[in-house]
Chains A and B, each alone.
Chain A
């Protein structure tokens, strides 16, 4: 069965510091999709990034970057020069290709989430 572990329960940083959120996953599928979502106090989950298992290229998007390593089953997420508005709960999530196929190719929202990391950025 799939599993996502976020070992960091809470992280506290001062504005402008870089912060890395850790995520480790378990899956038997050879094809899968990894996501990071942000949950601000308003409650909705906001999509941040997605990575396919067959693409290990790490990228940077603005202040966000991620480090995907299949060898260690990790999908870490970094915020550069953190801001107070980054304060939220961050969730790592996994979607398995077998679940996608079973649902007729529309199961990218069938997600297994980690327990979340509370990020607090102080001014």
Chain B
């Protein structure tokens, strides 16, 4: 079965610019997560979707970050405007309700200069 797909793999932008990341979860997985992984740290949850609804976005910096999951399949994470400290790998993960582990994509490495 195909894994979690993310694009782009790499992105370099200047501070104050906008950027968007895309995630296509494993087919049939209702739950989708976005994680932020700063270099040298473990991933940190940003937002969790159940189908097309937000379950938990308590750690999402809502002044600049937004995410949506239209139709309960693909998801987009946006940063506007970007700051230097947003440089990180953004990981998408999905999970089937009957599973106990999440499956992760390869991530998008964002560099803000």
Which residues of chain A (75-123) have a CB below 8 Å from chain B? 91, 93, 102-116
A109-B95 contact, Cβ under 8 Å, with A47-B101, A50-B101, A93-B42 = yes
Q: Could you tell me the distance between the alpha carbons of A105 and B99 in the complex, rounded to whole angstroms?
A: 10
A44–B95 CB distance below 8 A: no
- Scoring B residues 69 to 113 as 1 if CB is less than 8 Å from chain A, else 0, what string do you get? 000000000000000000001010111010111111111010000
Q: Could you tell me if A111 and B45 are in contact, using CB atoms closer than 8 angstroms?
A: yes
A105 and B101 form a contact (CB under 8 A): no
Q: Classify chain B: how many residues form its interface, as a range.
A: 20 to 34
Asked if B24 lies at the interface with its beta carbon under 8 angstroms from chain A, I say no
Question: Residue-by-residue, is A15-45 near B (CB-CB < 8 Å gives 1, otherwise 0)?
Answer: 0000000000000000001010100001111
- Chain A residues whose CB sits within 8 angstroms of the CB of B95 once the complex forms: 106, 108-109
Q: Report B83 CB to chain A, min CB distance, Å.
A: 22
In residues 19-69 of chain B, which contact A (Cβ within 8 Å)? 30-31, 33, 40-45, 48, 50, 55-56
Q: Are B50 and A104 within 8 A (Cβ)? A: yes
Separation in Å of the B78 CB from the closest CB of chain A?
21
Cβ-defined contact, A109 with B33, below 8 A: yes
Residue of A nearest to B95 (CB): A109
Q: How far is the CB of A48 from chain B (nearest CB, A)?
A: 9
Bound state CA distance, A4 and B44, in angstroms? Answer: 12
Cβ contacts A31-75/B at 8 Å (1 or 0 each): 001010100001111110010000000000000000000000000
Asked if residues B30 and A106 are in contact (CB atoms below 8 Å), the reply is: yes
Subset of 23 A-B contacts with CB under 8 Å = A35-B101, A43-B106, A43-B107, A44-B91, A45-B91, A47-B101, A91-B42, A91-B43, A103-B31, A103-B48, A103-B55, A104-B55, A106-B50, A106-B97, A107-B48, A108-B102, A109-B93, A109-B102, A110-B48, A110-B56, A112-B45, A115-B42, A116-B41
Q: Which residues of B contact A (CB under 8 A)?
A: 3-4, 30-31, 33, 40-45, 48, 50, 55-56, 89, 91, 93-95, 97, 99-107, 109
